[in-house]
Amino acid sequence: MSIFEKITNYGLSYTDGEDNSSGIQQDTYFLPISWMKTISRPKAGTTAASLVEINESHVMNTGKGPVKMYSMFKKSGFKGALEGEELCKIFKQGPAEFFIPRLTADNLGTVTAIKNYQGIVLMRRAGEDNEFVQIGSEGMPAQVVNVEFDLGTGPTGSTGIKVTFEAYGKVPYYVYKGDIPSDKMPSSVQKSN
């Protein structure tokens, strides 16, 4: 029996009267797969949401933590699309683009270090405090597909780095409701900020 046959509430609703803000917040996290001790995944149940919701926290290896990126809200975003042939489609998760202002040695060194890692990207949607959009998974990780840097032109140019991630998945993206990962077992009571 397929996991899709267990679902009892299929349907597409729209947000009449509800907030549906666009964009992603400024704090984003990249978790290289090789730095992770426990990678949580959805537990399929009888609701359509159970196909995409991750309710348990990821855990990092001892001494490792996520790579935190502070991106500009108005210059960062995420898109995705369905790809593939008839009866064998897959979702392209991305591009997820993050513009980090300032070209510092730390920023340049960080993109130099992460460019060849595969992992998971966690980003908060605008207005959401307790859940993240997650692209990438253990079996199909996200990758850095491009890094652009710009010193700007003239007095009004944008100086900074744009990092672009992409992944593929059987869902458009995951809804991660766990804690921000650390090398400590997560608290079930309090969410990290």
In whole angstroms, give the CA distance from residue 4 to residue 2. Answer: 5
Q: Is residue 185's pLDDT more than 60? A: no
Mean pLDDT of 42-57: 92
In this prediction, residue 189 carries a pLDDT of 33
Which segment of 44-53, 79-88, 163-172, 181-190 scores lowest on mean pLDDT? 181-190
* pLDDT tens-place string over residues 83-112: 999 989 999 999 999 999 989 999 999 999
The CATH number that applies at residue 100 is 2.30.110
In a domain, 12, yes or no: no
- CA-to-CA distance for 56 and 177, rounded, in angstroms? 7
Q: How much is the pLDDT for 23?
A: 83
Would residue 40 count as lying in a domain? yes
Statement: residue 57 has pLDDT above 50: yes
* 83 domain-assigned: yes
Is there a domain that residue 167 lies in? yes
The pLDDT score that the predictor gives to residue 172 is 95
Query: Is 7 a member of any domain?
Result: no
Number of domains in the chain: 1
Domain presence at residue 16: no
Quote the CA–CA distance of 53 and 42 in Å, as a whole number.
5
Pairing of strands 142-150, 174-176: unpaired
Model's pTM, two decimal places? 0.87
Residue 164 domain flag = yes
Three-state secondary structure readout of 35-61: HEEECCCCCCCCCHHHHCEECCCCEEC
What residue has token string 């003239």? 154
| Domain annotation covers residue 110 | yes
- DSSP secondary-structure letter at 35? G
pLDDT of 44: 83
Nearest CA-CA partner of 135 in 156, 157, 113, 120: 120
Instruction: Please give the residue range of the domain that contains residue 160.
Output: 24-176
Res. 191: pLDDT tops 60: no
Round the average pLDDT of the chain to a whole number and report it. 88
* pLDDT at residue 184 in the model: 63
- Each residue of 116-152: pLDDT tens digit? 999 999 998 888 888 999 999 999 999 999 999 998 8
